[in-house]
Structure formats: C-alpha cells, structure tokens
Structure 1
Amino acid sequence: MLSFVVRRLLATVLVLVAASFVVYNLTANYGDPLADLKGSKAPNRQELIDQRIEMLNLNEPSIVRYVYWLGGAAKCLIGQCDLGQSYIRGNQPVTEALASAAGSTIQLITVSTIVAIVFGVAVGMITALRQYSGFDYTVTFFTFVLYSLPVFWVAVLLKEFGAIRFNDFMANPAIPWWGYAIVGLIFGVTLMSIVGGPSRTRLLSFGIGAVASVGILLVLVLTGWFQRPTVGIIGILITGAAITVVVSLLSTGLKNRRALMAAGATVVVWAALWQPLQFLFFYVPQYWVLLVLAIVAIGIGVLSGMVFGRDDKRELARTAAIVSVLTYLVVVVDRVLLVFPDYTQRIPLKNGIIATIGATTPGLRGDIWFQMLDSFAHLLLPTIALTLISFAAYTRYARSSLLEVMNLDYVRTARAKGLTERTVIMRHAFRNAMIPIATIVALDIGALIGGAVITEEVFAWQGMGQLFVQGLDHTDVNLVMGFFLLTGVVAVIFNILADIVYAALDPRIRVS
C-alpha cells in the first residue's frame, strides 16, 4: 500500500510540474497586470507601476518567473508555502486568500455532496430494484429534467420560491386547504410508488402517506411550530424510531429483534439525556463538546450492541452505533432550533431566515448555536442548487451500476443458496455496484473544490470559483496558480483515495 501511494505521488508531482508550467505561461501572457495602473490618473502612477513590476518580477521572462514561483511552491513540502502576493487583493499573500476561499467552498460543497451521494444512491438502488415500474419511469423522467436544467436558472428559482416566498410564508404560516391536498397527494403517491405491490397495497400505502403527511402538517400549524420550531423528547423518540427501522432494515433486517432492541436502546438513552444536555449546551457552548459527545454516541452504540448481541455482536454494534450517532445529531438540531425565535429578531430580514447572498450575516454575534443556525440559513439555497444537479447524476449511475451487477452469476448463485433478498443486495451486489460510484465521487469532489463558479456568482459566495475568475480577469498570475495548485493536489489525493476504496469494496482488487 505504502509503495503504491509513494509511486502515485511521485508520478503526480511530475504531472503537476508540467501542467503548472503550461498554465503559468498561458496566464502570464494572457493579459497585462499593469492595465489598471496604466489607465490611472493618479499623480504617482509611475511609482505604483514600478512597485508592481518589482513585486511581480515583470522585468523577467515568464519562464524565469515560473522558476521563482515553483521554488516558493516547493516550500509547501516543509510547511512554508510561499505562493507570492495577490495585487488585486491588496498585496495579500496568496496562501491567506486560498485559506479563506477554500474554507467557504468546502463549507458549501460538503453538505451538498454528502446529501447528493446518500439520496442519489438510495433512490438509484430503489429504481433499479423496481425496474420498469411507474416509480422507475417517474424518477427517470425527473432526473433527466434535473440533469438538463442550467444551474443558474435553478439558483434563481430557489431565490424566488425558496427564500422570498418562503420568508413571506414564515411571516404568516397559514396553509390553505388546497395546500394540504397537494402535500397529501405528493407524499401519498411517493410512498405508493416506493412500496409498490398489488393494487390493495398501493392504495393502502397512498392512504397512509397522504393522511400522515397532512396530519403532521396540520399539527405543526396548529401548535405554532413554524414560529417556535423544536424537536423535544417526543420528537427525538419518534425520529429515533424511524432511524432505527431504516438502519436496521438495511443492516440486519427487521426480523433481527436483538438488533432492533440494541438500536432502540440508544434512542432511549439520548431521550433520557436530553434534559441534562440542555444545561451542558447552555453553560459550555463549545464545538469541542459536540465532538466529544459524537465520540460518546459511538461508544453508546457499541456498548448497546455488545449487551444485546450474541455471536453477531459486531454487526449489532455497528448498527446501534449508526443509530446512536444519527439520533445524537437530532439532539443537536433540537438545541439549534431553540435559538430560532431570538435569531429571527436579530437578523436584518423582514420575514423569515432564508438568506439569498453571502455565507454569514454581517455583524451577527452569538454563541455556536447562533452561528450554526446562521450558517444553515445561508447554506440552504446554494446547497440545494448543487444537490439537485448532482443528485440526478448519482441516481442514474447507481441505477445502471446495480442493474448490471444484479445480472451477474455470483448474484444468482447467492440467491440459489437461499439467502434473503436483503442479504443478496446489501452484502453482495451493493459493494460491487459502488465501485463505479467511487470513481465519480472522487472526480466530483476534485472538481467541486475548484468552486461552483456559477452558483457562487448567483449567491455572492466568495469561494474558490470567484477567486479564480478574479485572478484570470486581472491577470493575477500568483492567484491563478495558487488556485491551480490547490485544486490539482486535491484532485490527486481523491483519485488515490478512490483506488484505495476499490480495494475495500472488491476483495479481488489489490492496491500494489
């Protein structure tokens, strides 16, 4: 493994050096970095020009300047990066500009990428298992529509309906009768399509989905939940029970009672800890507390699996740990929602909290709960915009990959042995079906770290994409090369990780 990584890194260094040489010289000869000063009427114009020429070594040929830049970039290997200064950002060191922009971009793409992968793969698997059904045709239609939509148009629609209209609704959360009818119809049809089966089962599923969705929405409106949203102990128990069912269904199957008991026990523990944790969250509002509690959540799940498990303790511990962590996240969400009324009084918005520009609210002060809620309000729309497009791609890839695997001999052999359909799909077919997805994920993350330029432009998000565009427009070579170096290194790292994931997914593959 180590020799493989070292060889890949050495080969990558040579590629990056060759590519950076080409990009540097193309950028250096693309425009004039002195254009803004030459058109200036400042009395010290010549002095400013001479200062910039000296700072950027413009008296030297572009090849010589590249050697200087490469020497500074090589210092990154010893932790002393010197990528020059960006003249369009007030002579700010490029490393500082990259750190700020990369943090914003990573914050933007992390959630959207995770959500797109999880839901895209899940929906793709369901459509593959329900091939040529009404649900399959419907999902296929909508994924093709989403995949073909221009992201800037999606972003503008989200601003109108996801922010402006929703904020108006939050100011007066009243739903007309036809709103309940539409919600019930959507959820009823969705549940009916997913469950499938004979007509009686479909009608029963439709009725359950429609009545449950309308009932929940009606309760939220009547109790004023939209003005003071919260989860509470009851919400934690209900949400935890749903998480237990879903995770157990995928991991051990619902017939494994001990697995359900182990996972359910973790939900009960977090419900019991809800009240004491409120005091901890109030007096010690620190991020390290959340990290420690996440580790504790894993420990609770492992301990529960060991208590209820027999020969399958490892499997039960894994299932209970996943349920415990997800339930813990629900507890954190509940604590964040407690500051919602105060937050809506402090933000400079007339109605609602969904922001349309920027990454944070300027001048907003508060503890970590305010910061987390403010980040969510600003991240929501750009995250949805990126997720919708990526979701469509992952759904199609997951569907085609699983369909191909399900027709292979070893899957038929597993069924012939009498294994349950869940075991055949999750333990045999799913892992191999994820191999192509691993490649796509690695490429997507490597590309997204460069910044979703259009999305960042629409939502005024100062990330890597905007940094690159600014540097290219003003021929700021140091800024462009800093962007190139960071995105190139990230792309290389994730491609190596993809190769390692191959070996984890398929035992026949050996990284050597």
Structure 2
Amino acid sequence: MLAYALRRLLISVPILIASTFIVFIGGALTANPLNQLQARNPPPPPRVLELERQRLNLDEPLLERYWNWLIGLFQGDFGPSVHSNLDLGSEVIARFGVTFRLIFLAMLIALILAIIVGVISAVKQYTKLDYTFTFFGFLFLAMPSFWFAILLKEAGISFNNAVGEQVLYTIGDSSVYVAGGAWAEFTDVLGHMVLPTISLALLSFAAWSRFQRASMLEVLNSDYVRLARAKGLRRGKVMRKHALRTALIPLTTVTALDLGAIISGAVVTENVYQWRGAGSFLLESIRNDDVYAIQAWLLISATFIILFNLVADLLYGVLDPRIRYA
C-alpha cells in the first residue's frame, strides 16, 4: 500500500506544477490589473501608472513573472494585489476557510444520503420507495443551484416571520457580534450554515445517489455476490462486506471529479446568502481585474481538486486491494 501511495503522490506533483503554469498564464493573458486605474477620470499621471506597473511586476517578461510568482508561492506570497494594503495570502486563506467548511459539511451529508438512498433503491428496485427516491433525485437534478438556494432562502425568511423570531439565518456566514464565548460562536456559525449546506448538499446528493444505485445494482447481479449468498452468508454481511465495498468505487470516482462543480456551486450559494467566502472573493477579484487574486483562487481550487483525486486514488486501493497490486 505504501508503494502504491508513493506512486500516486509522485504522479500528482507534475500535475500540480503544470496547473500553476496554466493558472498563471491564463490569468495574465485575460485581465489587465491597470484597467481600474486607467479608467479614472481625470486619468492619473503617467508616472503613477508606471509605478503601479512596477509594483504589480507588469514590467517583467511573462515567463520571468511566472518564475518569480512560483518562487513566492513557496514563501507564502501569492503576489501583489491591485489594493496595495491587501495581503493576498492571509485574505485568500481566510476566505477559503469559510468556503471549505461549507463544502466539507455539504459533501459529507451528500455522500451519506447518496449511499443510503442508492443502496435502498437498488435493494428495493422497482418498488414505490425506489420510484419515490428516483422522482426526488431527478427533481433536484433539474433545479439550477442559484434558484434552489433562493427558494430555500425565501422559505427560511417565511419561517422566521411565521414564528416571530430568527430561527434560520439567511444572510452572512456568521453574526457580527456573539455573546457567550466560544461555544456560542460555534453554534452561531453552525446556524448560518444550515440553509447553504442543505442547498449545496441536496443538489450533489441527487446525482451521486443515481450513480450509487446503478453501481449497487450491477454488483448485486454479479456472480460472486450470488456465490456468497449460496454459501449461506447472511444477507447483511454480503451487502456490507462484499457488495457495498465494491459499489463504492464508482461513487468515489464521481465524487472526486465533482469537486470542481461543487466549488463552483459554492460560489453561487455564497452569493445568494451573502457569505464573505471564496466565492465573493473571486467575484470581487474579477470585477477589479485583480489578476494575482484570481490566480490565487484558481491555484488553491486546483490544488484541492488534485489532492482530492489523490485521496480517491488511495481509497481505490483500500476498497479493492487488487488495484494497488495491478
């Protein structure tokens, strides 16, 4: 298993390096950080533009800028922002901290629901329960993420108005001031996560449950599961140790591949609920043509996608030992 893990890790390193080059070149060629300054009326003096160009390293050749940026990344420096008083490193890490707690909880809930619903649908194939799960699965699949988030937000506002107090939080990732210490702050953050997490989790769960159902049906009809049942093993043991373990491999693949879609869904969800997370950070950076901020966002997202796919590769070896020896 160690050799298998090392091989996967070594494969991920050149992919990560290639992603830094693609991210930097793509960002540098698609936006001009001086646009906001040049659009002012009256226009700034040429000397101001030249000094800003030097501060943003725009006077250097493109490949030299990439190399200096790459070296800076190892020192925790993501480059200069168009806002001279903004530390991109601390800002982007703080924003992603807000976003990834939403993504982690949403993915965890979506995975648990997908496995439970997918297994039950496969075992109860063509029953009323299977048709009910299928209906709701396709219903959530058909809903645009922004529309579903708005519906939940409006439902939360209506519920608060009905009970006469704020039970469900519909704006922000936390309250401005919370009295009561660390536990009160923790519960406040959890309260703000309820509606956004439901919004993001249900849309992911809908697709994953269909994959889990199809995978489980394929495994249940395989010869080795029939053989295990014929040998007298209990149905629960066959489902847990033989069928479910193998059926989780396709779901692991889909989950790893969907991380990018979940991050983009989090951008939309955060915008609806007015979170100050990575989503709003990206939109602000795009509006301001803040190239280094956009590159920082893309690089961190790419890094997490690569790491998540690495974890998925390692899980393959855990779920099916034949893979690690292949």
Give the TM-score of the pair, scaled to structure 2: 0.92
Question: What is the aligned-residue identity percentage?
Answer: 40
Q: Take 2:125 and 2:10, find their aligned partners in 1: how far apart are those partners?
A: 45
Q: Take 2:190 and 2:5, find their aligned partners in 1: how far apart are those partners?
A: 37
Q: Secondary structure of 1:105's partner?
A: helix
For 2:319, the equivalent position in structure 1 comes to 505
Amino acid at match of 1:170: V
1:456 and 2:270 correspond:
yes
Two-structure CA RMSD over aligned residues (Å): 2.2
Amino acid at match of 1:486: I
Amino acid at match of 1:12: S
For 1:406, the equivalent position in structure 2 comes to 220
Tell me how many residue pairs correspond in the alignment: 326
Shift of residue 48, structure 1, vs aligned partner? 4.4
In 2 relative to 1, CA 51–2 (structure 1 residues): closer, same or farther, beyond 3 Å?
Answer: farther
Q: Take 1:93 and 1:451, find their aligned partners in 2: how far apart are those partners?
A: 26
Give the TM-score of the pair, scaled to structure 1: 0.60
Amino acid at match of 2:98: S
Q: Take 1:63 and 1:13, find their aligned partners in 2: how far apart are those partners?
A: 20
Q: Take 2:239 and 2:20, find their aligned partners in 1: how far apart are those partners?
A: 45
Shift of residue 65, structure 1, vs aligned partner? 1.2
Q: Take 1:504 and 1:415, find their aligned partners in 2: how far apart are those partners?
A: 24
Shift of residue 141, structure 1, vs aligned partner? 1.3
For 2:89, the equivalent position in structure 1 comes to 95
In 2 relative to 1, CA 422–3 (structure 1 residues): closer, same or farther, beyond 3 Å?
Answer: closer
1:386 and 2:189 correspond:
no
Q: Secondary structure of 1:86's partner?
A: coil
CA deviation string 1:155-201 (max 9, x = no partner): 1111111x111112322xxxxxxxxxxxxxxxxxxxxxxxxxxxxxx
1:81 and 2:47 correspond:
no
Shift of residue 128, structure 1, vs aligned partner? 0.7
For 1:37, the equivalent position in structure 2 comes to 37
For 1:57, the equivalent position in structure 2 comes to 57
Q: Take 2:16 and 2:38, find their aligned partners in 1: how far apart are those partners?
A: 34
Q: How does 1:150-161 map to 2 (within 5 A)?
A: 150-161=144-155
Q: Secondary structure of 1:71's partner?
A: helix
Q: Take 1:358 and 1:154, find their aligned partners in 2: how far apart are those partners?
A: 18
Shift of residue 33, structure 1, vs aligned partner? 1.1
Shift of residue 417, structure 1, vs aligned partner? 1.1
Amino acid at match of 2:157: I
Q: Take 1:71 and 1:423, find their aligned partners in 2: how far apart are those partners?
A: 53
Where do 5+ consecutive residues of structure 1 fail to align? 172-350
Shift of residue 37, structure 1, vs aligned partner? 1.3
Where do 5+ consecutive residues of structure 2 fail to align? none
Shift of residue 447, structure 1, vs aligned partner? 4.8
Q: Take 1:155 and 1:511, find their aligned partners in 2: how far apart are those partners?
A: 44
Shift of residue 3, structure 1, vs aligned partner? 4.1
Shift of residue 17, structure 1, vs aligned partner? 2.9
Q: Take 1:105 and 1:455, find their aligned partners in 2: how far apart are those partners?
A: 10
**Structure exhibiting the larger radius of gyration computed from Cα positions:** 1
CA contact (8 A) 1:38 1:45 kept: no
1:495 and 2:271 correspond:
no
CA contact (8 A) 1:358 1:461 kept: yes
Q: Take 1:158 and 1:451, find their aligned partners in 2: how far apart are those partners?
A: 15
Shift of residue 138, structure 1, vs aligned partner? 1.6
CA deviation string 1:445-480 (max 9, x = no partner): 455356611111111122223323332333322112
For CA contacts below 8 A with separation 6 or more, give which structure has more relative contact order: 2
Q: Take 2:249 and 2:281, find their aligned partners in 1: how far apart are those partners?
A: 33
CA deviation string 1:105-126 (max 9, x = no partner): 1111121111111112101111
